[in-house]
Structure 1
Amino acid sequence: MDDTAYDFDLFTIGIGSGGVRASRVAAAHGARVAAAEEYRVGGTCVIRGCVPKKMLVYGAHFAEDLEDAKQFGWDIEGKSFDWVRLRDIVQRDVTRLEGLYGETLSNHNVTVFEERAEITGDHEITLASGKVITATYILIATGAKPHMPEFEGNEHCITSNEAFHLEEVPKRVLIAGGGYIANEFAGIFNEFGSKVTIANRSDVILRAYDPALRDRLLQISLTKGIEFCFNVEFEYVRKQEDGTLLVKMTNHEERVYDQVMIATGRVPNIDGLGLENVGIELGRKGEIKVDAYSKTNIDYIYAVGDVTDRVQLTPVAIREGQAFADSVFGPDKPYAVDHSCIPSAVFSHPPIASVGMTEGEARNSLGNVRVFQSDFRPMKNVVAGRSERGLYKMIVDAANDKIVGVHMIGPESPEIMQAAAVAVKAGLTKADFDATTAIHPTMAEELVLLR
């Protein structure tokens, strides 16, 4: 069939961060684009992920800021926290952002179908309404969804999706998982006054991060009153007559919680997409396998973002969507996204930020490395009377003085890391940092004062 005989040049399934970018850019290149979203435009990040979560993180920080204000001369009487007010304000802003995403697509003449879409044949998509559409190219950008392990009573548990819509802050909350979602929500709920317990199948939190950072976060979290139960699995969760949850974990007695939240990772969102109808190849965990240019084993079907077998981060999905649209519909030579040296952050209390190799990875890969470290107490914490300490760590290849990793925990670490990540990505050396004048007094100056 000639390309002009298809209804659209591109049909995007899933209008999250990656899908929006790909659809907009493809349309800007002159393609006829349609996209389908069964829930809300914006995807996980905007609707039920990093954006509303960061708003809750901001809200949670005021708990300590208001307490610390006394040491800075401020007397604040009658302070109180209203969860419902914050929740509703956050959701209103989410709706505003959703509208902006919709306007962006509309302004680029992207046809949007607010219903489920399934691949039903060669170059063919069928909508939930029964409408059949054809397209030269199909892009799958449906993201990922929370993983819910199998155990008795898991239907009584929530995931991060539901955490944004709770009627009240739970007095006692059990969070299952040791990754970034578990630790971020542990910090949020703890600052809002919950008694928080983290239950993890292993004895390690934030496995992908440098051990020095995760050990420091564990220490600080314990000091803040967060409890950790390691090497446990759920036996059952039973709802009691008063609405509380009776929980039994291995090697533990039964305990009662008001809420149980499962944060044990995310899995590719592929259910009902009809991938089997065209023979799209999947990985062991259901991820769509793609090449460097986001192409699946089916020549005209591509996939970007968390539904693939690459890095599950919103900025990565956006870059992949951009590269796909430029490469397939743009005038220039196709290009691939560089997935190396990607910075990341955990918006815990305090936050963690990282780029490049951990110390262990560097030693295994490079052999001879130099490690520079600053273990300090931020000035604000000193004045406020808080013992909480920050930790910055720099990993350097001894053979050429290049910085191969920077790892930080402390206030505003993600904000500082964005600039540091540019330096690491560019291959700057420790000498380049040493030659840079510090901005004093700041926490960031520690990066150029490491000796």
Structure 2
Amino acid sequence: MEKFDEIIIGAGPAGLAMAYPLAAAKRKVAVVEADLWGGTCPNRGCDPKKVLLAAVEAQDQVRNLQKVGVLTQPAKIDWSKLMAFKKTFTDPVSTSSEKGLASSGITTLTGAAKFIDEQTIEVAGTTYQAEHYIIATGARPAIPNISGKEHFQDSTDFMALPEMPRVVTFVGGGYEAFEFAAMANAAGAETHVIQHNDRPLKAYDHELVDQLVEQLQAKGVQFHFNVSLQAIETAGDQLILNAPDFRLVTNAVFATTGRVPNVEALDLAAAGIEVAHGGIQCDDHLQTTNPRVFVAGDIIARQEPKETPVASFEGSYLVDYLTGKTQASIDYPAIPTTVYSSPKLAQVGVTTAKAQADSEHYAIKTIDTTNWLTYRRLNEPVAVVKIVTDKKTGLLVGATCLNSLADELINYFTLLINQKVSADTVAKSIYSYPTPASDLNYFY
């Protein structure tokens, strides 16, 4: 039986962030992958999503600037050509990721890992042991358990659509629904979003979510709130979505109700590992109830956002912990999150909901930036920023942005929060003008 210092189960961002530096530290490392090497993000997640978003952004800019002098016909998206362009990014990922590991002296094992006991796994009929295991198997789309659920497609299917259906429906009001709805609508599909209550994107500021909904509605996206879908039926090449007092005929329906951790194949009980709702339990060193086994990435049951940079951050922390460079607990900084819709919605730090609930300590300032040069030159219909400051120190502790540049602006706010930069320090800095960075002086 071959033995390793570390076996990493999952070759996504967390796994890769660990494998290379562990190997460089002269550890004997193996990486196990049952699907695509490189993980969800570069193969069918955030990276190709951003490629497709570029077309939506271009269409939005043309639409906005047509009103002020850009002379062109409405910009149209050729979905099949756009998908072919996307594939130039995704097709090489899995092969190159596996080759990169192998070329660094890391053993690659293809197949699903299963624990045989607390210190042994099996992959494709062969058993292996390690001093430490790191589970980084990520998560997959959740599918609502309703009649006809076999007709649901998921985010993986959407990211691989060869042609855009005439009518497209998304069930669930999370970030994927808003992102994919913007794309489908921009590509010319009749687009619907079904949400079981009236609060989509519940983790974000309600007022700005409402404004995002209004902007998408103005572009043609149809939202159906307070609809609890009960069944999907077929009618020829169409699907009929049924709920009390609701019926919708569509060509494709996608589940966008969140994600669930990939734990089933691992047989964690055999390894003495406890699983909680939302993932695997761990302590503040990312160690599970089996002291040999650690976790990183979306598999963890935690409050921090389940994002690629967070997974990489956890992977880097584990490298330092396992090689003895630190014994400290993992310490997460403020983490930005972004909904890549049309426009974008982003937030970081203390939310407006938390600030409103603790008004003794926090102050909220809402700033309509629609007429600021940064956004007015693009003729954006809406641009709003909300900031949260600590009343005692005056420091920025939270921010939410709704505009076409929100994904970039939120990173400036993240840096100011994590570095505890005062308003006075910001005011004394000089930035390239006019840019989103040069606007920072006017926020707090």
Does the TM-score normalized on the shorter chain lie above 0.5? yes
Q: Which amino acid aligns with 1:19?
A: G
**Cα distance change of structure 1 residues 35 and 383 upon mapping to structure 2, 3 Å threshold:** closer
Find 1:291's aligned residue among 274, 283, 292.
283
Question: Given that residues 375 and 383 in structure 2 are in contact (C-alpha distance below 8 angstroms), is that contact kept between their aligned partners in structure 1?
Answer: no
Deviation at 1:70, TM superposition (A): 4.4
Alignment match of 1:135 (pick from 130, 133, 151) = 130
1:187 equivalenced with 2:182 (yes/no): yes
Aligned equivalent of 2:400, options 396, 404, 407 = 407
- What residue ranges of structure 2 are gaps of 5+ in the alignment? none
How much has 1:340 moved relative to structure 2? 4.6
Q: Which residue does 1:113 correspond to in 2?
A: 109
Relative distance call for 1:391 and 1:70 in structure 2 (3 A) is closer
Judging changes above 3 Å, is the alpha-carbon distance between structure 1 residues 221 and 69 closer, same or farther for their aligned structure 2 residues?
closer
Q: Aligned-pair distance for 1:446?
A: 3.6
Q: Which residue, out of 67, 81, 105, partners 1:85? A: 81
Matched residues in 2 for 1:395 and 1:169: separation?
41
Tell me if the contact between 2:355 and 2:364 (Cα under 8 Å) persists in the aligned partners: no
Aligned-partner Cα distance in 1 for 2:90–2:162? 18
Q: Structure 1 residue 297: deviation in Å? A: 0.6
**1:61–1:191: 8 Å Cα contact kept in structure 2?**
no
Q: Which of 191, 200, 203 is matched with 1:205 structurally?
A: 200
Amino acid at match of 2:11: I
Are residues 1:42 and 2:38 paired? yes
Q: Distance in 2 between matches of 1:225 and 1:444?
A: 33
Does 2:367 align with 1:374?
A: yes
Partner secondary structure for residue 421 of structure 2: coil
Residue 234 of structure 1 aligns to a residue in which SS? coil
- In structure 1, the partner of 2:5 is 9
Match of 2:347 among 340, 348, 354: 354
Q: How far is the alpha carbon of 1:417 from its aligned partner?
A: 1.6
The answer as to 2:252 corresponding to 1:259 is yes
- Code of the residue aligned with 2:86 in structure 1: it is V
- What is the rounded CA distance, in whole Å, between the counterparts of 1:35 and 1:410 in structure 2? 40
What is the deviation of 1:447?
3.0
3-state DSSP class of the match of 1:272? Answer: helix
User: Which residue of the partner structure matches residue 319 of structure 1?
Assistant: 313
* 1:113-140 Cα shifts (integer Å, max 9, x gaps): 1222111123211112x11111111111
Equivalence for 2:416: 423
* 1:214, distance to aligned residue in structure 2 (A): 1.3
Q: Tell me: CA distance 1:215–1:41, structure 2 relative to 1, closer, same or farther (3 Å).
A: same
User: What does the per-residue CA deviation read over 1:373-418, in whole Å, with 9 as the maximum and x for residues that have no partner?
Assistant: 32132658646665x1100111111111111111111112111221
Question: Equivalent residue of 2:264, what SS?
Answer: coil
Q: What is the deviation of 1:426? A: 1.6
2:202 maps to a residue whose letter is R
Contact 1:25 1:326 in 2 (8 A): no
Q: Secondary structure at the match of 2:275?
A: coil
The answer to which of 340-349 and 315-324 deviates more is 340-349
Q: Which residue of 2 aligns with 1:20?
A: 16
Q: Which residue identity does 2:316 align to in structure 1? A: Q
Structure-2 residue corresponding to 1:302: 294
- 2:438 & 2:326 partners in 1: Cα distance? 41
2:313 partner amino acid: R
The answer to whether the 8 Å contact 2:59/2:75 transfers is no
Shift of 1:66: 3.7
1:392·1:447 contact (CA, 8 Å) conserved in 2? no
* 2:425 is aligned with 1:432: yes
Give the paired residue count.
441
What secondary structure does 1:198 align onto? strand
Counterparts of 1:100 and 1:214 in 2: how far apart (Å)?
Answer: 39
Q: CA deviation at 1:77?
A: 6.3
Give yes or no for the alignment of 1:225 onto 2:220.
yes
Change (3 A) 1:268 1:78: closer
1:176 aligns with 2:175: no
Q: Is the 8 A contact 2:261 2:299 kept in 1?
A: yes
Q: 339-348 vs 391-400, which deviates more? A: 339-348
Question: Residue 269 of structure 1 aligns to which amino acid in structure 2?
Answer: N
Verify the 8 A CA contact 2:336 2:346 in the aligned structure 1: yes
Kindly state the Cα deviation for residue 65 of structure 1 after the two structures are TM-superposed: 3.1
Deviations for 1:43-76, whole angstroms, at most 9, x for unmatched residues?
1111121111111111222223344564575545
Partner of 2:141: 146
Quickly say closer, same or farther: Cα 1:212–1:68, change in 2 above 3 A.
closer
Aligned to 2:100: 104
**Is the 2:169–2:252 contact (alpha carbons within 8 Å) kept by the matching residues of 1?**
yes
Q: Which amino acid aligns with 1:407?
A: T
Contact 1:151–1:236 at 8 Å: present in 2 too?
Answer: yes
Q: Aligned in 2, Cα 1:437/1:374: closer, same or farther, shift over 3 Å?
A: farther
CA contact (8 A) 1:151 1:235 kept: yes
Counterpart contact for 1:9–1:137, Cα < 8 Å: yes
Over residues 275-315 of structure 1, what are the superposed CA-to-partner deviations in whole Å (9 max), with x where a residue is unaligned?
A: 11112111134x10011111101010111110111231111
Instruction: Work out which of the residue numbers 390, 393, 398 in structure 1 matches 2:386.
Output: 393
Whether 2:22 is the aligned partner of 1:30: answer no
Q: Tell me the distance in 2 between the aligned counterparts of 1:223 and 1:448.
A: 32
Tell me, in whole angstroms, the C-alpha distance in 2 between the residues paired with 1:447 and 1:362: 21
- TM-score (normalised: structure 2): 0.93
CA distance in structure 2 between the aligned counterparts of 1:444 and 1:240, rounded to whole angstroms: 53
Q: Give 3-state SS (helix, strand or coil) of 2:400's partner.
A: strand
The answer as to whether partners of 2:151 and 2:232 remain within 8 angstroms in 1 is yes
Report the aligned-residue RMSD.
2.2
Q: Cα distance 1:376–1:122, how it changes in 2: closer, same or farther (>3 A)?
A: closer
Query: Separation in 2 of the partners of 1:187 and 1:210?
Result: 19
The letter of the residue matching 1:15 is A
Measure, in 1, the Cα distance between the counterparts of 2:27 and 2:168.
49
- Residue identity opposite 1:59 in structure 2: A
